[in-house]
Structures are given as structure tokens and as C-alpha cells.
Amino acid sequence: MDRTASGTYSRLAWALSLILEAPRQARLPFRPISAIEIDQRRRLADAVSHAYRHVSYYRESMARLGVAPGDIASAADLARLPLLERAVVQQDPRRFVSERKPLASYVPLGTGGSTGEPLTVYHDPFSLIQAAAHHQRAGSLHRRMVRRRLGFRMLVIGHQPNETRRPVEKTLAWVRKLAGGEVRRASILEPVEHALEVIDSFHPHVVFSHGSYLEAIFVHLRRSGRQSHLPRLVLYGGDAMSTRARTLISDEFGIPVLSMYGAYEALSLGFECDAHLGLHLNADLYPVRIVDDAGRELPDGESGEVVISNLVNRGTMLLNYRLGDLARKLPARCPCGRSLPLLSFLEGRAPGDWLLNRSGQRLHPSSVTDIMEVDRDIFRYQVRQEALTRLAIDVVARPQSDLAALRSRVKRGFASLLDPGVAVDVNFVDDLPRTARGKVRTVVGLVEGEAVESSSGVLASDR
């Protein structure tokens, strides 16, 4: 799936590339690791060369360090580049975007997650098509597990794609129909009862969403006794699912549960197989290092911070980038037969708390994301629910922001989300409190004793 010399693909060419590439990607995890490493070195050379020629940050950094593109010959050599912090990209994101094409030609995807630090990552459209092909490494397993090759139906509960991504989504939808499958989307901002209505009407074989949202769905089913269509497979990513919730879904409801690993900075990092030992890393696409707080590489088996290099995207180029997750590399080979290396399940991507409306409606923390992370004047933030009728929001604003206008926009956004009569206090601060692992809790729910019910009922103590 190489790009053409001009770098421009029509929708038809993209679709044809995806159709032709998908079977090869389904077989790739079982190739010898030596062949996968050859693919990795080829992609690495192309990515580093592109970054040097077209991305000002890498051009300047490599010149300062005396590093030439040819010096980065293996994944281990990526450590010769500066260890890239999210805050550095936040401060001037365009320094990391390829100058080969106009900024308007890229698809912006917003990310914030558990760091509380919004970041826009620009993807070239073809990389999004590639990500769909790369998903077949896990997708072939999912189709086998649900015993459905044709007529495969998946429900994705998440954020609706933004306008700039819609042409790519239309291409992918067309390809899925040609392949005899269908993906339908539902909003994670809706109550779980709405998601269950979609499940009952669509009858998906697979449901994919944030771990915390799926947990809330199945706890609701158990507590309410509601009869509902049950998918054959549950996939989760984005945030954690408790061990007891996985057990509830797999043992009481009889549905296998698998996790997916991805981020807006790196769309198809890895996936869990049916051996359930960890996450298979797509190492040829996104080489992964595990480092300590000082940036030193850690040996296999030791827990540290995940550092990734995206060899696929030619929009925002991120090489040797701290992703913010905590995990460890596993030295053992998986008995499933896949050669892709194993990463432990994530140790540091917990969900934020759910908000509670005056009416009793629970709001997933992603509802906050949709308000706070589209505003480019917001550098970091924390939302705290102090009572059913009061929300406190601390914001670290970008320098030279119009604070009065920013406060008005934030208040207006939450007014559209919350029931009438909820006061929203917006405060501007220099910094935010962090957890022992350096994270900012972006959403802090009601203090103990004030909440009517936790977002996941009896399972909340496992978080």
C-alpha cells in the first residue's frame, strides 16, 4: 500500500488498495518475526527521511544533534532522537506537521484522554485508509470468533466523525458493503439505555466502545433484568474495564471480551488475541519503547511509560513520542502462533468519573471531551462535580487568550449538556493537581456520600 509519487489518491484507488491489502494484513501477524522486522526497517527509513525533509522540528533537531536520516537504521536508533513530550507538541503543533501538503488537506483528530491536555493530531487521509487495512490483523480474528465472514455487523459506540473525516468514512463504508459487512455508529454521549435500543434494532455481532461505557451497559442489564440482544463479541479501548466487569460479561453473559490498543497519535497500536496474555503490538507500524521517568530504556518485564514512533502517518509526525500509558513488554511468545511481540495490558489508562445530571442521568466523561477539547485556547483542564447543582472547572489557558470569551464558551457548552439550574464556575489557574503517576484527572465526580449511584454500580470498587 505505498503512496503514489504525487501522494494523491482518489476514493476509488483508496478503496481498491484497501480491498487488495486486507487479506495480506490478516496473514501478517503469523509471518516470521524476521520478515516483520524487515517491513519495520523499510517503513522506518521512509518515515525518518520524510520527517527530515518536510517537518521543521525534526529537520532542526537532527541538525542540532548531528544525526542524519541514514543514522536511524533500526527501531533502537530512534532513541537518538529527542524524547518527545506531549506538552512540546501542544505548544506549537504545526512544527510537527508535514509541509509537503497544505494543512487543510489533513484530517484533524483531537486527543486529550487521561492527561487533561488536549492535542490535535493531523492525519493524511491515506493513513486512515491504511489503518482500516491494518485493523484486519485483529479483524480476521474477530470474524472467526463470531463465526461470520459475510454479513458481519459491528456497532461502534463513540464520538461521531468530524466533517473532515466524512469522505474517508464514506469510502470505508462502501468497502465494507462490498465485503458484505456493515458498521453502525452510536454516540457515547447518550445514556446506556439508548445504546441498548440501537443494539436491539441493529443486532450487531460485535460491539466496540470505551471499557467504562461497556461496563455500564452490562451492569445496567444485570441490575435491571432487561432482556436485550447480546453480541457475540465485545471489544473495548479508550479507557479501562475492571477485571470484575470482564468476568461479568464473559461468565454471566457468555460473551468473549477483547481489548484494542490505539490512540489518535497511533491508530492501530495493538490488539488482544483469544489467548488473553496481553496485547500484540503492530511493531512494523509503531515501534514501541518502554522507558522510566528519566527516559532510560527498561528491560522486558519492567513497567514504564510507553514511547511510540508512528511510521504510518504523514500528517503530524511523531517519532520517539511519550504516549502517556504505562505498561511493560512481555518476553514470552504467545501460544496463538502470532509473531507480533506482546505488551502487557495497560496499567495507566483509567477512565474519568461520570457526571450526574440533576435528573439522575449519568454522563460519560467523553461528554466533557466534546466541549473542552475542541477549544484551542484550552491547554489543560479539570472538571469537578461538587454537587448535583454545581460544577467547578479549572482551566490552564493558552497565553494571550481572551479569558472572558473563553469562560463564556465553556459555560455555553456545559449549559447545553446539563439540566437547568446547574451552576458552572470556570476558574483560570496556572497548573492542575496530578496523581502519583503524573496524570490529571480530567473529570472528578461527586465526593463519596453525595453520589446516588456510581457509573458502574457494584463494580466501581474495582477501579
DSSP string, 398-457: PTT--HHHHHHHHHHHHHHHSPTT-EEEEEE-S-----TTS---SEE-PPTTT-SS-TTG
Give the C-alpha distances (Å, rounded to integers) separating 95 from 98, 183, 186, 339.
8, 35, 35, 36
Classify residue 115 by its DSSP letter: G
The candidate with the shortest Cα–Cα distance to 416, out of 363, 375, 338, is 363
Q: 356 and 452 in contact (C-beta within 8 Å)?
A: yes
Q: Taking the model in full, what pTM does it have?
A: 0.80
Instruction: Convert the pLDDT of each residue in 289-298 to its tens digit.
Output: 999 988 899 9
Q: 298 and 327 in contact (C-beta within 8 Å)?
A: no
- For position 449, what pLDDT does the model report? 35
Q: 300 and 342 in contact (C-beta within 8 Å)?
A: no
Non-local (6+) Cβ contacts of 9 within 8 A are: 3, 17, 125, 126, 129
Instruction: Convert the pLDDT of each residue in 14-35 to its tens digit.
Output: 667 777 788 899 999 999 999 9
- For position 111, what pLDDT does the model report? 63
d(CA 49, CA 340): 25
Extended beta strands in 64-136, E state = 107-111, 119-123
Classify residue 71 by its DSSP letter: G
Instruction: Convert the pLDDT of each residue in 311-340 to its tens digit.
Output: 999 999 999 999 988 899 999 899 999 999
Which of 108 and 29 is assigned the larger pLDDT?
A: 29
Task: Phi first, then psi: give them for residue 189, nearest 5 degrees.
Answer: -80, -10
Overall size of the chain counted in residues:
463
What are the structural domains, with CATH classification, of the chain? 1-350 (3.40.50.12780), 355-462 (3.30.300.30)
- Residue 361 burial (CB count, 10 A): 14
Tell whether the model's pLDDT for residue 219 goes beyond 70: yes
d(CA 306, CA 371): 28
Instruction: Convert the pLDDT of each residue in 44-101 to its tens digit.
Output: 999 999 999 999 999 999 999 999 999 999 999 999 999 999 889 988 899 999 999 9
Place 275 in a pLDDT band, splitting at 50, 70 and 90. very high
Whole-number mean pLDDT of the chain? 86
